Structure 1
Amino acid sequence: MTVLAPAASPGSSASPAGTALRHAAPALLAYAAVRLLGVAVLGVWGAAAGSSPHQLLSARWDSLWYTRVAELGYGYEVRLANGDVHSNLAFFPLLPWLERLLSAISPLSPADAGLVVAWTASLFAAWGIFAIADRLYGRRAGTLAVVLWAVLPVGIVQSMAYSETLFTALAAWSLYALLSGRWVWAGVLASLAGLTRPVGAAVVAAVWVAGAVTLIRESRAGGSDGGRPDDSGSGVGEWGVGGWSPDGPRGRWRMLWGVVLAPLGAAGYVLWVGHRTGGGLFGYLEVQGGWGNGFDGGLAFARFIGERLASPAFAAGAGLIAGVLLVLWLYRLCLRQRQPLPLLVFCGIVVALALCASGYFGSKPRLLMPAFPLLLPVAVALARLRTSRAVLVLGPVALASAVYGALWLNGTGPP
């Protein structure tokens, strides 16, 4: 994955990517330490429970479906007793493509290749999150944002052969490309994100909204300012700390290319599935329907919570309500923080799709994982603390996340 690094300082012999890597190194080391803690606790738990951490991370639940796509291609399905059909067409192709490629050029099995891809992508995702937070709020806030992402209760998924880390890496760098005015890169990375997960639509929307706002602003200004950022202090203007190219027609053409490229990955796969299944434009929705997935505005999730509240599992229902309110409150803080518009669009769509989709409700925390802008207000608040106090806050959280991850993976249901 190409790193969209800032230019090296004048007179420096280091490459921009090398300079950016050294700048991000403390954040990446902190991230790696948290994730190694999670894997270590899983190993200790596995030794006590007689489970295999390797199998839990590389060959269980969705990981198996990705591996089957890598090994056998598309067409595998499971028919359930109730008539539902679980087809591997529900799984977008970029991760299994990379698994197949890596296993073809190395001695790794597709499952182990999936782990390598996921672990590598997790570092790029952490780097992308750092790059955005550092650009907006400073290096300290960037480091803390990365640590907060690592210590999420479902952070163990970042160490699994799942597609979340690959998607988050592509999404974060696409958004960073927007903030730094690299429209073509933003479109290319958005297209790749669209080949990774259905929620790639959120990245596409961020690119499109940014392009639309840029065109509207230029038209209002009569094109005289060449698309320079608005310094009026508005939430939209603040994303323009280099939010588009100020070089007139050439910049607008690059923007157009980014907007055109962004949806190609997701649209291409969805259209291919529709052609393969004979379902046309709605073919992929039919495949998802076979898994019990859909978008109902959150009605099924609300019923699920209501059932918990009306049962002995009242505490679980109350906890779910608290979790939803926390997510909504964090998004409100993002708005009050006046985050750049592309971040708000991306994060809002990720949150809406996660909370308002029907299907397996235990996966909702995992589906929220790419919504890293939610963590930025917390990172900025923690950045005001002394380092020792921040460690005292995040250290126990990291340990609790590691224990919870080990408990979760040794449970009966998929994350």
Structure 2
Amino acid sequence: MILNRFQGWKEAWWPDKESAKELFQILVFSRIALIVAGWIGLARLPWKYYSPTFNVTTNPILLMWIRWDGLWYTGIAIHGYWFQALAFFPLYPLLTAILHWMTFLPVYVTALIVSNLGLIGFTISFYGLVRDLYGEDLAKRAVWIAIMFPTAFFMSAAYTEGLYMFLSTTVFWLAYRKKFWAAGIFGMLAALTRNEGAFTVIPILWSYYQSYGWTIKKSLWSVLLVPAGIVAFMIYQWRDFGSPLAFIAAQSYWGRQITWPWVGIFLAIKTIWHGSPLQPSTILSMIDLCAALIFMILWIFAWRRKFPVDWLAYWGILLLIDISAPDIHGRSPLLSMSRLVLILFPGFVMLGILAKHESWNRFFQWLLPMLQVTFFLIFATWHWIA
């Protein structure tokens, strides 16, 4: 029975042989291109910048992926939590530590294994989700755009993006197929990976309402699994740090403040207006502001094209939250927005719809890989990008 169920899931989820080959090629060649670009940046370019204090290895192929937040996640996997680290949710470092314990590989290696397994899982789940709703052609375009997006290299770095995108898109796919309890479990794991995972209750609730209306059935309780992950993390903080909301207080370490959504956009425009064109804060503010505005415009297009209600709600709420928590006194008020929009997967579907037109398709094929390699070079050489 279990084997039959697994076979049924595989047939429903797994792409056909030709599509699987195409997706595999996109993944492999895009990662090889990034590794080559990162190696050139670290070993050959004259403007490289090393940070010896934080370099975890002398191997450039490994080193290029362990940057910035990656040091926090691997640090948690090695040492456990300290107060400032509570801003980072536990599942990714926990999986990294478990894999390290099981394989005896260095933590920095297992962190990248977890990320890239998440990327592979995301490729399959995202393809299956879009294929079921919009067909195979759009699914392939959306996956290509997601993998080639300028900040998509974070899905292979020691960051949570790859794992979270796999878990969150799987929730939508399972909810779409009325697998409420399985969706609840994946939602709980998503909420243990990033705080945005709490909003994976949206597709579960929406799919339940479409199936049963206001009737209360046992499967409705599956939504409680999603916040259960955050509650467990809060209990841990209460026990070890004296407050169940310590993770919110820890966010102040990065200077973020909750404010009106237009404040961050206004401050970004102000920074760009008063800054020098080649000043890092000006360039970063332009990148982050463009990411925010593009995904806002894409949301409007998606709404006009009648995207699923749960997609629009999830996308809109997460985007609103990110815009409403700017780094008011930082180099870029909308700090990391070009990376934060990466988890808004319906945006890639909308871009895939645009790419159906030959002119947009050519534009994306040229622009996205070029920007991703450029951003990755900045990231790999210890400069800030997102």
TM-score where L is the length of structure 2: 0.83
CA contact (8 A) 1:200 1:266 kept: no
What is the DSSP-based 3-state SS (H/G/I as helix, E as strand, rest coil) of the residue aligned with 1:358?
coil
CA contact (8 A) 1:301 1:356 kept: no
Instruction: For 1:194-343, list aligned pairs within 5 A.
Output: 194-212=191-209, 217-218=213-214, 252-254=217-219, 256-280=220-244, 282-298=245-261, 299-300=263-264, 302-313=266-277, 316=283, 320-343=288-311
CA contact (8 A) 1:274 1:284 kept: no
Instruction: For 1:2-401, list aligned pairs within 5 A.
Output: 7=8, 16=11, 19-20=14-15, 22=17, 24-25=19-20, 26-49=22-45, 52-58=60-66, 60-75=67-82, 87-212=84-209, 217-218=213-214, 252-254=217-219, 256-280=220-244, 282-298=245-261, 299-300=263-264, 302-313=266-277, 316=283, 320-359=288-327, 361-383=334-356, 385=358, 390=361, 393-395=364-366, 397-401=368-372
Unaligned runs of 5+ in 2: 51-59
The residue identity in structure 1 corresponding to 2:92 is: L
CA contact (8 A) 1:94 1:192 kept: yes
What is the DSSP-based 3-state SS (H/G/I as helix, E as strand, rest coil) of the residue aligned with 1:295?
coil
Hey, what's the Cα distance between the residues in 1 that align with 2:225 and 2:16?
A: 28
The residue identity in structure 1 corresponding to 2:17 is: R
Hey, what's the Cα distance between the residues in 2 that align with 1:103 and 1:326?
A: 39
Hey, what's the Cα distance between the residues in 2 that align with 1:339 and 1:6?
A: 30
CA contact (8 A) 1:279 1:286 kept: no
Total equivalences in the alignment:
359
Which residue in 2 is equivalent to 1:243?
A: none
Q: CA RMSD in A?
A: 2.8
Unaligned runs of 5+ in 1: 9-14, 78-86, 220-248
Cα deviation code 1:380-405 (max 9, x no counterpart): 2323549xx94674155313321332
**More helix by proportion, 1 or 2?**
2
CA contact (8 A) 1:6 1:20 kept: no
Higher Cα Rg, which structure? 1
Hey, what's the Cα distance between the residues in 2 that align with 1:61 and 1:345?
A: 31
Hey, what's the Cα distance between the residues in 2 that align with 1:401 and 1:306?
A: 26
Cα deviation code 1:213-262 (max 9, x no counterpart): 655x356xxxxxxxxxxxxxxxxxxxxxxxxxxxxx8xx322x1321212
Assess, with a 3 A threshold, how the Cα gap between structure 1 residues 297 and 270 changes in structure 2: closer, same or farther: farther
Cα deviation code 1:278-333 (max 9, x no counterpart): 234x3322122233234223324532431331233497456654443221110111
In the TM superposition, residue 374 of structure 1 has moved relative to its aligned partner by: 0.8
